[in-house]
Chains A and B, each alone.
Chain A
Amino acid sequence: MASAGPAAHRTRVQVISPERTPGLQRPASVPRSFTGRRLHTPYLKTPQSRILHGRRSRLTRTPSSAHPTNQRFSKLTNKTWHTYYVSPLYAFSNEAASLKRCSRQLSSHLQAESQKGVGVMVEDQVTSKYAVFSLRPELFPDSDVPAVELSIYASKSQAISASSPPAWTSIFCPPSSPVMGDDKHFSRLPLMLIKGAIGTTNCVLQWLQVQFDCCVRKLTFNPMALSWMVSMWAESLPDKKKNSDGDKKCGVELVYHLPKEISGLNKVTMTIDSRDARALWESVHEEDSDEVEEDEVVSFMKALGQHFHACFHIHLDALYLKTIGTAAAFVGAEGRLKMLSLGEASGVLQHLVELAEEKMASLDV
């Protein structure tokens, strides 16, 4: 984390207008008017970084904390993300200049990938793909390390005007707790959420692994992890603004897959009314306790299994839990995540970060 005065200032500017940061070689010598016509006067326009007021000012847009705390996740909810875990990044820095350099390098890497065989200069004006690294500290205000967003736009003009959403987005989430020991050279951003074309994903991951000497792998969830999630979030409430038909959909959903030997039947979906799911959770959960105990999760799942067995004489334990859905989030075993509620999003992400850390800890051994 940059703490020196000037560096911190630069970081802040970075935050304000992430899409602007890697503005490459702006021709400063020839002033241009708003209409794009060259002005043949000695007076130059105020550089944008110094405009204090008006729509074009970047400084007035500073207060990132002006976002209501719930709204900070509005860009992340209601989209399907792929979850990846990332080992500590070597020589990754949050400083604006460093992020800018990374953006430029990744842009040219993507450019090179897209036109294989043709040489590309790193300093070239990239036209086809444009990558932007930016900091998103507002996502995790409690954390020392800000979250990092990486967006890839189809062209530079799109990135600057922010007119269309990026073609590919990813969010690096900070670790749940500060680490002990020497991590001067390593930055830990254990969880990565990715949304976009798989081709771009592969390309970016390859670059990340080479550039920061890290390892990025799909974060998958086993039935145990999924049952923890479904129990923890069973009592979560859907967002208020949802209309009545959305309310109907917002049950607690458990999708079970059958073993391959059974050819005719593929999956069993159980959708529990959210009120009943909450009642069941409250009946097994210790009141006034924020902590979730293992035996609570076990008895929650067991109770559902018993109910199902009483109705259909089928043992749910014998099936594989593949997808869970609650008002807070939908999570698929193969590493897909869709967050539905703004209020619960931070809890969901925190849990996933912990899972990613656990996963890496288990690999270390």
Chain B
Amino acid sequence: MVSSDIKGILRKVLCVLKREELGEVVKKWGVFGEESIREVTHLANSVGRTVPRKSITEKIVQECVKQKISNKQISELDLLCSIRHPEKKKWCVYELKGLSEDHSKKAFDPQVYFDKFTKHISVYFKHDLCMDKRGEAIWLRIGIYDSGKDSAYFFSSNTIYVVYYPHSRHLIVSVRKKGLMQFVMQALILSLGCTSCKETKLTGYHLDSLADLTLNPASQGWFSKFRHNQVDTNPLVKTQTRKRRGDSLDLEDKSLISENVEDEEKCQKDLDSSFGTNKQPKLERIVYEMENKFRGTRAAPRMATRQEPFRCVVKFEGPNVLEGLRQLHPSGISSTALPYLFEQVLSTGKNHFRIYDKSSRDRTGS
């Protein structure tokens, strides 16, 4: 490979990192000698006269060229960088089907999973494979060489990231080329011992939220406080009681009263009972494909006689849609705390729905 190619690739890989992270990542990578690691760490953590990120990156790139690093090592570096910034990729959740009964009881050995996967994927592609751990999750990075050009494999469209939480029934995958996915899926099915793998309708950029929604489907919304251990209070721990909190808010002048206290309390109670008090999982968009009866017949009475369903697609977009929906009710934009259709997001773990009327077709929220 030409060295200028390597330089470009390395710059691209390192650009997701923040300045402070560079030293840490290089240290963890373990390709450089101690001397250069110390130098990079020093530059990255310099406080007074800050060195721009670009020049540190350039230093690392120079060192890499000097060391003649291999493709495999670049892949490892890429995985290290991606693990730190999973929000830069679009993730999609796949559901594993036909897992054996004792799946969740058997011990899970990442190395066995890795070896099995290597064996099965080699049938299809020339590839390079790296594995790492982030919390409980096992990350696999599969770089696929599918074209004649040696450097072509590194284009991120040929790279697939697979995140697997041991003992779970879901895979979270970031893939650009859907065509490659069917082969990789085959290898994954064989190495995880399930019969099939289905794409669920849950996609997004925030990996932890997706994992939260898929791993804990039964404890979303109001139930999340059980998972976060906020129900059983330890009698020995002195907590701030609700009464005291109320006191501090009391106005000094007794003649001033808020007229809407009851409404506000009810609104807050509704919100807590539907969304729970904890932070909502981050989803960037929720999509509904609707095909139901037209309900606006009060303004357009002639539509009532129409037999056909009213087809429309409604998209809710924003950095954290669920959190935004929670704010709608207090601001008066929505009339109930959590409409039924949004409840479905939390209870089914999906963000893409197709809505039909029960009468027209017996399919709802597929």
* Chain A residues in the interface with B (C-beta under 8 A): 251, 258-259, 261-273, 275-276, 279-280, 283-284, 299-300, 302-315, 318-319
The answer to whether A262 touches B328 (Cβ under 8 A) is yes
Distance in angstroms between the alpha carbons of A262 and B325 in the assembled complex = 8
B313 interface contact, C-beta 8 A: yes
The answer to whether B332 touches A263 (Cβ under 8 A) is no
The size of the chain B interface, using a CB distance under 8 A, is 45
Distance in angstroms between the alpha carbons of A8 and B60 in the assembled complex = 71
The answer to whether B335 touches A265 (Cβ under 8 A) is no
List, sorted by A's number, 29 A–B pairs whose CB atoms are closer than 8 Å.
Answer: A262-B324, A262-B327, A262-B331, A263-B319, A263-B327, A265-B317, A265-B318, A265-B327, A266-B318, A266-B319, A268-B315, A269-B313, A273-B310, A273-B311, A275-B311, A276-B311, A276-B312, A280-B294, A280-B303, A284-B299, A300-B300, A303-B294, A307-B294, A308-B314, A311-B292, A311-B295, A311-B341, A313-B339, A315-B333
Write out, one digit per residue, whether chain B residues 347-366 have a CB within 8 A of any chain A CB (1) or not (0): 00000000100000000000
Write out, one digit per residue, whether chain B residues 89-118 have a CB within 8 A of any chain A CB (1) or not (0): 000000000000000000000000000000
Point out which of A271, A276, A313, A319 has the most chain B C-beta atoms below 10 A from its C-beta.
Answer: A313
Residues of A within 8 A of B299 (CB): 284, 299-300, 302-303, 305-306
Distance in angstroms between the alpha carbons of A319 and B105 in the assembled complex = 50
* Chain B residues in the interface with A (C-beta under 8 A): 280, 288, 290, 292, 294-303, 306, 308, 310-328, 331-336, 339, 341-342, 355
Among A269, A270, A300, A307, contact of B295 (Cβ-Cβ < 8 Å): A307
B266: min CB distance to chain A, Å: 16
Residues of B within 8 A of A273 (CB): 310-312
A270: min CB distance to chain B, Å: 5
Distance in angstroms between the alpha carbons of A304 and B295 in the assembled complex = 9
Distance in angstroms between the alpha carbons of A37 and B353 in the assembled complex = 71
The answer to whether A264 touches B296 (Cβ under 8 A) is no
| Given A306-B295, A306-B296, A312-B341; A261-B331 close (CB under 8 Å) | yes
Among B297, B314, B339, contact of A268 (Cβ-Cβ < 8 Å): B314
Distance in angstroms between the alpha carbons of A305 and B310 in the assembled complex = 13
The answer to whether A299 touches B317 (Cβ under 8 A) is no
Q: In chain B, what residue has the closest Cβ to A252?
A: B312
Among B280, B295, B318, contact of A267 (Cβ-Cβ < 8 Å): B318
Residues of A within 8 A of B332 (CB): 315, 318
Residues of A within 8 A of B302 (CB): 283-284
Distance in angstroms between the alpha carbons of A311 and B280 in the assembled complex = 22
The answer to whether B334 touches A303 (Cβ under 8 A) is no
